[in-house]
Amino acid sequence: MYKKTVDFIKRLYQTDKFLPLHEPRFVGNEKEYVCETIESTFVSSVGKYVTKFEEMVADFAGAKYAIATSNGTSALHIALKLVGVDESCEVITQPLTFIATVNAIKYCYAEPIFVDVDMDTLGLSPDSLKNFLAKNCYIDDKGNCINKNSSKIIKACVPMHTFGHPCKIDEIVKVCKSYNIEVVEDSAESLGSYYKEKHTGTFGKLGVFSFNGNKIITTGGGGMIVTDDEKLAKRAKHITTTAKVPHPYEYIHDEVGYNYRLTNLAAALGVAQMEKLDFFVEKQRELAKIYKEFFQDSDIKFITEPKNSRSNYWLNGIILEDKKQRDEFLKYTNENGIMTRPIWRLMNKLEMFKDAQHADLHNALWLEDRVVNISSSVIL
């Protein structure tokens, strides 16, 4: 089956060269727009493309506001800061995620708590969340959700839409609401994915996208915060652009801000990529269908979009029998020209987070041993 898979993928991509996991595609107006910023000299923090890119993403996602940032991690950092996460707080997230989710929590000097993921979504499990909160937390007279074990405030919850597949975000939002916990959606991987016909990233108070080189669209490096809250949107723009008070010539900053803005050069790339997003998602969905059929009669399970959702299939994943089979598959494919990768090491197993509180994580542990990502570049 390993050889059959390698041969199949090589045929799909019509290549004999080493095949990376996810390459960007520039098949639209990228060169034209990027050259235009160079010719105009407006490559940096001023220029029309940043605003245009923000408008396009807000429009696409159905959010009222979008604020571009230097990358997805900085977008997450600011989103958490905006809902009031600080050193007195804890933030609930999933252990099965990319490191950026948890790094952003630590940038706010808060502590992460890990609850389990669901088998059908690979995203944060509303049941695991509910159980953790019911067992460990109470609401104090100021309305804060207090963790009995640490006496800290559980301020926010960051569910992540793994590989672009939406998690049960409406249920998560409902549980969080009943405990006065703010939801910040890590939708870095799910631009173009919908849950119950609503775009991911627009269920929580704030949502975050990434335009890193390996995402469904890229600006080289970049991120975006989306929200319907005008006040938060204004604050996001302000503190990601050094908290400078508007003035014709004076430099006055009214708080410690961040230089997290996206450059006009990067945004030009982003505008051209946004023009192709629908096309990319269609292509990814076709590719997923082909994979699904291929793996149908094997003992390898292809991961498909969960119920009630329409996934962008950003990164294709398969589930092997066990860790031994997984390791054999990884070795064979990588030695034979097809880059594949195991899912992330669980966050609570990393040195920095090994003492973090966590719920029973049996789904995450099971998936960690078996999930592998396979070739996912858009086939033109």
Ligand X SMILES: *Cc1c(COP(=O)(O)O)cnc(C)c1O
Q: Which residues bind ligand X (CB under 6 A)?
A: 71-73, 97-98, 100-101, 160, 186, 188-189, 210, 212, 223
Cβ pair 17, 371 in contact under 8 A: no
Cβ pair 273, 35 in contact under 8 A: no
DSSP per residue over 182-234, as a string?
Answer: EEEEE-TT-TT-EETTEETTSSSSEEEEE--TTSSS--SS-EEEEES-HHHHH
d(Cα 378, Cα 338) in Å, to the nearest integer? 15
CB of 77 to ligand X, least distance (A): 9
Six-digit token pair at 55?
């408008």
Distance of CA 246 to the CA centre of its chain: 32
Smaller CB separation from ligand X, 65 or 344: 344
Smaller CB separation from ligand X, 95 or 145: 95
- Give CA angle at 297 (292, 301), nearest 5°: 50
Smaller CB separation from ligand X, 111 or 185: 185
Smaller CB separation from ligand X, 73 or 128: 73
- The residue with tokens 């994979």 is 291
Cβ pair 209, 53 in contact under 8 A: no
CB of 315 to ligand X, least distance (A): 9
CB of 215 to ligand X, least distance (A): 6
CB of 97 to ligand X, least distance (A): 5
Q: Which residues contact 16 (CB under 8 A, 6 or more apart)?
A: 10, 337
Long-range contacts of the stretch 235-238 (C-beta < 8 A, 24+): 235/82, 236/65, 236/67, 236/78, 236/79, 236/82, 236/206, 237/67
Smaller CB separation from ligand X, 315 or 378: 315
Smaller CB separation from ligand X, 126 or 201: 201
d(Cα 351, Cα 372) in Å, to the nearest integer? 23
Position with the least CB separation from ligand X: 72
Smaller CB separation from ligand X, 137 or 183: 183
d(Cα 336, Cα 300) in Å, to the nearest integer? 19
d(Cα 167, Cα 306) in Å, to the nearest integer? 8
CB of 56 to ligand X, least distance (A): 18
CB of 221 to ligand X, least distance (A): 6
Smaller CB separation from ligand X, 47 or 72: 72
- Give CA angle at 101 (107, 87), nearest 5°: 30
137's enclosing H/E stretch is strand 137-139
Counting Cα atoms < 13 Å in the Cβ hemisphere of 44 gives 4
CB of 75 to ligand X, least distance (A): 7
CB of 224 to ligand X, least distance (A): 10
Q: Which residues contact 277 (CB under 8 A, 6 or more apart)?
A: 60, 191, 192, 216, 217
CB of 161 to ligand X, least distance (A): 8
Smaller CB separation from ligand X, 6 or 100: 100
